[in-house]
């Protein structure tokens, strides 16, 4: 039987704080004719899988697959986005019951991903090198 080290137990406990993210989210504050979504599903006690897309008219102009996982003693936000040649691992540096911050200082952009839950809405921010982009979502289920 496998056992968890203290640090792994701590990561698993912290990971439970992310469960508010599960479900379907619709993007708001977008230009007319555009829409978007983000969807998260808990597949194990240590893994959430996600998908996000931006749609303009009938065309999907951006799509990414995401994961929140425990790897070793750390939690990572993993991004496999269209246009990227490699999967990017953002290490979680802060976690609360209503948000988290993940960082990959060596990545070109973004270097930081921040999620903040307020009621049934999320503000996700990507930032780095003086640039910042906000994405707003509301829960639809």
CA distance 121 to 100: 14
What average pLDDT does range 28-47 have in this prediction?
96
Cβ partners under 8 Å of residue 89, min gap 6: 71, 76, 77, 78, 104
Q: What percent of the chain has pLDDT over 70?
A: 93
pLDDT for res 9: 54
Residue 6 has pLDDT above 80, yes or no: no
Domain assignment of residue 43, yes or no? yes
Q: How many domains does the chain have?
A: 1
Question: Which structural domain range is residue 126 located in?
Answer: 6-139
Domain assignment of residue 41, yes or no? yes
Reported as a single tens digit per residue, the pLDDT across 98-115 is 999 999 999 999 999 999
Dihedral in degrees, nearest 10, Cα atoms 19, 20, 21, 26: 150
CATH of the domain at 34: 2.40.128.20
Domain assignment of residue 80, yes or no? yes
Domain assignment of residue 1, yes or no? no
Domain assignment of residue 115, yes or no? yes
pLDDT for res 84: 75
User: CB-based burial of residue 7 (10 Å sphere; 0-12 exposed, 13-18 middle, 19+ buried)?
Assistant: exposed
Domain assignment of residue 39, yes or no? yes
Reported as a single tens digit per residue, the pLDDT across 50-92 is 999 999 999 999 999 999 999 998 999 999 977 777 899 999 9
- Answer with the residue of higher pLDDT: 7 or 125: 125
């Amino acid at each position: 039987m496998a056992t968890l080290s203290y640090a792994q137990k701590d990561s698993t406990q912290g990971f439970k704080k992310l469960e508010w993210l599960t479900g379907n989210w619709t993007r708001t504050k977008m230009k007319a004719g555009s829409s978007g979504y983000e969807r998260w599903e808990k597949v194990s006690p240590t893994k959430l899988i996600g998908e996000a897309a931006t749609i303009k008219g009938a065309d999907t102009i951006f799509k990414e697959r995401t994961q929140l996982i425990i790897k070793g003693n750390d939690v990572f936000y993993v991004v496999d986005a269209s246009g990227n040649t490699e999967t990017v691992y953002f290490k979680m540096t802060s976690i609360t019951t209503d948000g988290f911050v993940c960082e990959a200082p060596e990545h070109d952009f973004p270097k930081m991903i921040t999620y903040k839950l307020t009621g049934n809405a999320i503000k996700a921010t990507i930032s780095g090198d003086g640039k910042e982009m906000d994405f707003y979502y509301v829960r639809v289920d």
